[in-house]
Chains A and B, each alone.
Chain A
Amino acid sequence: MIQIRNITKTFGKVIALNNVSFDINDNQILALLGPNGAGKSTLMRIITGYLSQDSGEISIDGEIVSTEKISTKENIGYLPENNPLYEDMTVYEYLSFISELRNVPKERIKDVVELCKIKDVINRTISELSKGYRQRVGFAAAILHDPKILILDEPTAGLDPNQATEVRELIKEYKKDKTIILSTHILSEVEEVADYVVIIHKGIIVAQGTIEDLHRIVLKHNIIYFAGKFDKDLVSYLPSVIPGIYNIKLVAKDNEITEYEIETEADIDIRKDLFKMAVKENWEIVELHRVSVSLQEIFRELTSS
């Protein structure tokens, strides 16, 4: 369990993090989400012990994190933003350098190379590698000591879609019984891999929770999309027979099919009622589903101010 308590960090006059607190449970994939300059990297750098905070405290399983503590650094695997690597080293030299400093047996390199699929570039100089390979080398170095906490700062930034998918696969593969913190501004990535999301904006946490929680925070009502062949005008008819509807609008209409969007209170689900109604009235339904708001809209809503 990682506990982040009242972390504040300033760079000169710029406040990078302002009184940030939250917990990260074990075996969770937590995504830090926020626009560029929101403070994601700064927070990650403080957790890894690269930077020190002005005030507040971070503890990992009860032990306080500090820039000078060796134990902090032993527990964490870290892939910094832009994935800096020693360009003049070969992949093997780099991994064996990390393994020697981390006291990891050399056999482990073999496993990691296998897992990250970098076997065919193992003797190449890092500066010659493509961005996708570089990212996998960085990832391999971060998991070399099998850390229980893995921190990845924008692991898929700058990769093409195929490479990004490969990196996400690696993350998911590694997930078992590990705590992973990753920052990103790619929202589909969050929906794909994260269990828990913390949205930071201008150094302040604007929202946190599971993706469903976030939906609930932003959505004050449910929207049901309902389309079919109806013999009545539902805008006037439905509210009188099904309670809880407070708005209904006609989206489209052609010769046969009419499409409606029905808004209800957030805690009411009228989909069953609509189905029963259709059976009773003998309507032919072509579509009935709840409209989900994408994380993108949630994100925009929360960070636009």
Chain B
Amino acid sequence: MKNVFNFKKIKVLVKKELNLYFNSPIAYIVISIFLMLLGFFYSRPLFIQNYATLRHVFDVIPLFFLFFIPAITMRLYSEEYKSGTIEVIFTLPVRKIEVLLAKYISAVCVILISIILTLLYPITLLFFGKFDIGQTIAGYIGVLLLVLFFSSIGVFTSSFTKNQIISFVISFAIMFIFFILGKLGIFVSPTLAYIGIDVHYDNFVRGIVDARDVIYFLSLTALFLYFTYLSTTTEK
């Protein structure tokens, strides 16, 4: 029994995290800005160039995520360290891994809510003309995996500081390394480029769902969640 998660408790914790997200204005503001900016990249080719495509949207999503995901994840642990409520939660009968999973799941949920709202774009596209549905689905799978990966970086950086700004900046920096390696690493060596997200993400955007790319995102996600677990179980 010892290694089985108590899903009921995780559910309670997720509910509490979501409650805290939507009780404060931050989530609403960040999601609105994200959707407004993304809407611009969706509508410009549509109206100016008459392209029925989501290609431009998928292309800018990683760049937007560099700002958007840290803004959502930075509070996860940092806020609790700062207010001291971490002492409340860690003396309740829940395991630290359950707290971690709940925080991670809730951040992913908040981000996915905004991604779900972008589904309006492909739905409206259906009225304008023909576009490749399969490619779009593959693109969304890529986005989902990117959300999982970047959120794990975000929850990690929030787990070692009580300062949300520091959490934001460091997770931005780590994400930026993975972002820029894909773009510039190719000039140095292909291996370096392979560590970056571009090679893998672009495959999805082009409509190719390759198990190797899926494994790339999931294994890095697991790695950062493991780092987070180590960070929360080590006393500071």
Contact = CB atoms under 8 A, between A and B. Distances in A.
Interface residues of B, number: 23
Contact of A89 (B20, B90, B92, B235): B20
Interface stretch (A71-79, A160-168, A245-253): A71-79
Interface size class of A (residues with CB under 8 A): 20 to 34
Interface stretch (B9-17, B45-53, B56-64, B162-170): B9-17
Interface string A69-92: 011011010101110111111000
B83 interface: yes
The prevalent SS among residues of B at the interface is helix
B94 interface: yes
B12 A84 contact: no
Contact of B95 (A45, A68, A87): A68
A101 B13 contact: yes
A68 B2 CA distance: 11
A80 B90 CA distance: 11
A51 interface: yes
B93 interface: yes
A100 interface: yes
A258 interface: no
A82 B85 CA distance: 10
Interface string B6-34: 00010011011001100110000000000
B88 interface: yes
Contacts of A141: 88
A87 B86 CA distance: 13
A278 B23 CA distance: 76
A50 B20 CA distance: 23
A94 to B, nearest CB: 9
B9 A101 contact: yes
A86 B85 contact: yes
A101 B15 CA distance: 11
Contacts of B96: 68
A73 B24 contact: no
Contact of A49 (B9, B24, B91): B91
Contacts of B83: 84-87
Contact of A98 (B19, B23, B90, B92): B92
A102 B92 CA distance: 7
B81 to A, nearest CB: 10
Q: Which of B12, B94, B96 has the largest count of A CB atoms less than 10 A from its CB? A: B12
A74 B93 contact: yes
Closest 4 interchain pairs by CB? Answer: A84-B84, A88-B23, A73-B93, A100-B12
Interface of B: 9, 12-13, 15-16, 19-20, 23-24, 83-88, 90-96, 235
Interface of A: 45, 48-52, 67-68, 70-71, 73-74, 76, 78, 80-82, 84-89, 93, 97-98, 100-102, 141
18 contacts: A45-B87, A50-B87, A68-B95, A71-B93, A73-B92, A80-B91, A82-B84, A84-B86, A84-B88, A86-B83, A89-B16, A89-B19, A89-B23, A98-B92, A101-B12, A101-B13, A101-B94, A141-B88
